[in-house]
Amino acid sequence: MKNDRRARIREESDRLSDAFVAAGALPVETDSLLPADVLLDLYGEDIRARAFVTHDSGMGEQVLRPDFTVPIVQRHMAEGAEPARYTYNGPVWRKGARASAGGSEYIQVGYELFDRENPGEADAEVFALFADTLKDHDLRVATGDIGILLAAISALNTTDRRKAALRRHVWRPGRFIRLLERFGGLSEPLEHRADLMVQIAVKGVEVVLEEAGPVQGLRSEAEILDRIKVLQEDAKAPPITGEEVEMLETVLDLKGTGGEVLKRLRELAEVFPALGESVSRMETRNAALGAKGVDAAALPFEVNFGRTTLEYYDGFVFGFFAENRPDLPVVASGGRYDALTRVLGHGRSIAAVGGVIRPEALLSVAGVV
């Protein structure tokens, strides 16, 4: 019986894969064991909690492929000309998955598009393809755009360092809010920080360092002095105004149909012109979606959507969920991940948008398996 289930899933994944090939994608295969250092550098310790890390005395640490992003992007960087479309169809392994959600091994069928010329068109192409491929199923759609939040950070009238700190924690909402409150002067001032500043002012930084004890390890005294300078500058910088903190919180809470959110965003952009670019990006994308028969104004849209996934999306994001089936994992999801490719490309940027479908979840929705 078990083999019947596998055969059905294989059949479904091949069908999905054919649809992606028909859309112009090149089918690619990748290794199942990936070098751990690249993934650790990219995702950090989270990867150890979410992926199976294994060890070989010759090859060192290896990771059982938790998704296809890294091998596909690497392959593209090595040999791809743009625009390029790839599709893949194979198992991934994730730790801690509930058995009811398909367990720790499951198939992903994906479509990735690398095209730096027309990001709005590219976003629309991927979403429209997924919407069309999944059209026979009763699924709830969610969309969002983390680029709006990034634009709102850029719109703040504060130091570049604070903006960089906020941008760095876009994917960690708890710390993001704590930072925002601190920069906005809304949380208690840090006593230990104030103490340090007073001590440095009174005794001089050399004495403070000497009294504290030895500086050991790779982080040098010069690095400590650099950060103290940063802290001193930050102490002088005025807090982010209440109006701007409120703007950022409003942006974070934006939720509704694509049409409603766009309208609210236009209003905000009149006060904060730096948001204008994200408005025009959304308009371009919506027009491109419209040309492909998707009514973007009617799609559910939420700025906060997709902030806590492993993928570190930084632009348009989408998900397809099984309504009334909280036991099932997300059936399909995807988005733009330019920031991730920038890390993989060591600064070389590659515009990338893509998504995956879990065929077994799709079959469960249809009641087949």
* 213 lies in the site for other proteins, by CB under 8 A: yes
Given CA atoms 330, 332, 334, 340 in this order, what sign does their dihedral have?
Answer: positive
Phi and psi at residue 235, in whole multiples of 5°?
-65, -30
Cβ neighbours of residue 6 closer than 8 Å, sequence gap 6 or more? none
Task: Give the 3-state DSSP-derived string for 93-130, with helices as H, strands as E and coil as C.
Answer: ECCCCCHHHCCCEEEEEEEEEECCCCHHHHHHHHHHHH
Q: How far is CA 289 from CA 19, 111, 254, 306, 347, in A?
A: 19, 17, 21, 20, 30
Residues touching other proteins: how many (CB under 8 A)? Answer: 36
Choice between 77 and 208, CB closer to other proteins: 208
Cis peptide before 214 (omega within 30 of 0): no
**Identity of the amino acid at 358:** R
Q: Does 178 bind other proteins (CB under 8 A)?
A: yes
Cα–Cα distance list, 280 to 254, 262, 263, 269 (Å): 17, 10, 12, 10
Part of the chain binding other proteins (CB under 8 A), chosen from 116-124, 131-139, 227-235, 248-256: 227-235
Instruction: Enumerate the β-bridge partners of residue 110.
Output: 88, 356
Of the residues 27, 44, 256, 273, which one makes contact with other proteins according to CB under 8 A = 44
192 binds other proteins (CB under 8 A): yes
Q: Which of 146, 148, 155, 165 binds other proteins (CB under 8 A)?
A: 165
Residue 45 interacts with other proteins (CB under 8 A): yes or no: yes
Residue (199 or 257) nearer to other proteins, CB = 199
Q: Which of 46, 243, 253, 267 binds other proteins (CB under 8 A)?
A: 46
Neighbour order of strands in the sheet with 53-56? 33-35, 60-64, 53-56
Please choose, out of 113-121, 128-136, 221-229, 245-253, the segment that lies near other proteins by the rule CB under 8 A: 221-229
| Nearer residue to other proteins within complex by CB, 15 or 193 | 193
Tell the smallest beta-carbon distance from residue 9 to other proteins (Å): 27
Output the smallest distance, CB 177 to other proteins, in A: 10
Interaction between residue 208 and other proteins (CB under 8 A) = yes
What do you get for the CA distance between the two ends of the chain, in Å? 11
Q: Give yes or no for residue 327 binding other proteins (CB under 8 A).
A: no
Q: Restricting to residues 48-67, name those near other proteins by CB under 8 A.
A: 48-49
**The residue to which tokens 């002012």 are assigned:** 201
CA separation for the pair 242, 248 (Å, rounded): 10
Of 98, 116, 168, 263, the residue at the interface with other proteins (CB under 8 A) is: 168
Task: Name the site residues for other proteins (rule: CB under 8 A).
Answer: 40-41, 44-46, 48-49, 165, 168-169, 172, 174-176, 178, 190, 192-193, 196, 208-209, 212-219, 221, 223-224, 226-228, 231
